[in-house]
Amino acid sequence: MAELTLSVLDTSPIVAGSSAAEALHRTLDLAGLADRLGYHRYWVPEHHGMRGVACAEPAVLAGAIAAGTSRLRVGAGGVSLPNHPPLLVAERWGMLAALHPDRIDLGIGRAPGGAPSMAAALRRPPEATTAEAHATAVAELLSCFAPGSRAVPARENRPEIWLLGSSGTGARLAAEHGLPCAHAYHLDPAGAAEAARVHREAFRPSARPATLVSVAVICAGTDAEAEWLAGSVRAKALGRRRGRRVLLPSPDRAAADLVGLDRAEVLACSPGLVAGSPDTVRRELAAIAARTGTGELMITTPVHDHELRRRSYELLADAVR
C-alpha cells in the first residue's frame, strides 16, 4: 500500500435535502481538503439532465477548483466527446492548461452523460457515439494539440490526456494512441479489471502504461458505522434497479426503506462499493489494485452528510499513508 496513489472523483452529488448550488460549493470545499491531505488528482464529470448530479460542464468547475487549490492535478472524468466539437474541447482545456501549467488533466469518454432524451437537446447526432466516430473524434482532438494547429492556445498548452476505458474498445483506443486509461471499477468491477488487462496488453510504447481505477469507498471509524452510511447508496441503487430514481437519502431514511428486504439483493445493487473501517478499506483497496494492476485509485464517496464525507477522505488518507 505504500506505493498506492489516491485521487478523487467527485460528481458534485445533489443529496436529498440539498440544492445544486450547495453541491457545487461542497465540491470546492472537498477539493481544498483533498489538496491539503495530499490526494493526487481531482476529477469532475460531465452529466446532463441528472437531478442528482450538479456538474454539467467540467471545464467550468475544474477552473474553479484549480484556482482554489495549489498542488492538485485537476481535470475531467470525463468530457463526453460526442457532445462537443473536438476543436472546442481543445480550446477550453488548452486555456485551463495555460492558466494552470502542469496541473490539468483531460479525461475523454464517449458515454452520453445523460438520458437518451438529452441527445436532441445537445444537438448530438445518433452516430456520434459509435466506436468508429469516437476514434475519429479522438484523433481530431489530439491533432488540435499538435504544433502548428489552429487551436490557440491548445497547440502550446496540452493537458495530460486520458481516455476512459470502461470497455475493451476504449482501452484499445487508448493503447493505440499511447494514452493513459481510466477504468470505472465503481460501476463495473469485472469490466474494469478486463479493460485494464486489454490496455496493458495492447499498449504500443515499450514503457509501462499509466492507468487508474475509480472505486466507490466509504471509510468510517468502524465497519458497522461505514455500513450504516453505505445504506444510502445501496437504497438509491436498489431504487434505480426497480425503476424509481431518488436523490441520495440519509442513512436513517435508507434504513427505513431497506427494512425487510433481501440482504443479498441489496448488496448486489452496489457490487463495486468498498465500505469499512480504515483497516478493512486498506486491505480491500490493496486487493483491487493487485487485481487491476494499477498503482492509482480514484475515490468517489457517496455519503449523504458532507462532514462525514470529508471524514471518510481523511481516514482513508491516514490509512494508506
Residue 14 included in any domain:
yes
Phi-psi region of 259 (alpha: psi -120 to 50; beta: other; left: phi over 0): beta
> What pLDDT, in 10s, does the model give residues 32-91?
999 999 999 999 999 999 999 999 999 999 999 999 999 999 999 999 999 999 999 999
User: In 10 A of CB 243, how many CB atoms?
Assistant: 6
Q: Do residues 38 and 317 touch, judged by C-beta distance below 8 A?
A: yes
For residue 191, what pLDDT is reported? 85
Residue 17 included in any domain:
yes
Please state, in angstroms and rounded to a whole number, the distance separating the CA atoms of residues 251 and 269: 16
Residue 141 included in any domain:
yes
Q: Grid coordinates in use for 238?
A: 436498489
> What pLDDT, in 10s, does the model give residues 10-43?
999 999 999 999 999 999 999 999 999 999 999 9
Residue 101 included in any domain:
yes
> What pLDDT, in 10s, does the model give residues 205-219?
655 678 899 999 999
> What CATH number is associated with residue 139?
3.20.20.30
Q: Which residues span the domain enclosing 145? A: 5-164
Report how many helices (DSSP H) and strands (DSSP E) the chain contains, helices first. 12, 9
pTM more than 0.75? yes
How many structural domains compose the chain? Answer: 1
Q: How far apart are the first and last CA of the chain?
A: 8
Residue 264 included in any domain:
no
For residue 207, what pLDDT is reported? 59
Q: Grid coordinates in use for 298?
A: 480514484
Residue 151 included in any domain:
yes
Cα-to-chain-centroid distance, residue 284? 19
Residue 122 included in any domain:
yes
Q: Which residues contact 77 (CB under 8 A, 6 or more apart)?
A: 9, 43, 44, 45, 58, 107, 164, 182, 214, 298
Residue 319 included in any domain:
no
In this predicted structure, the answer to whether residue 156 has a pLDDT above a threshold of 60 is: yes
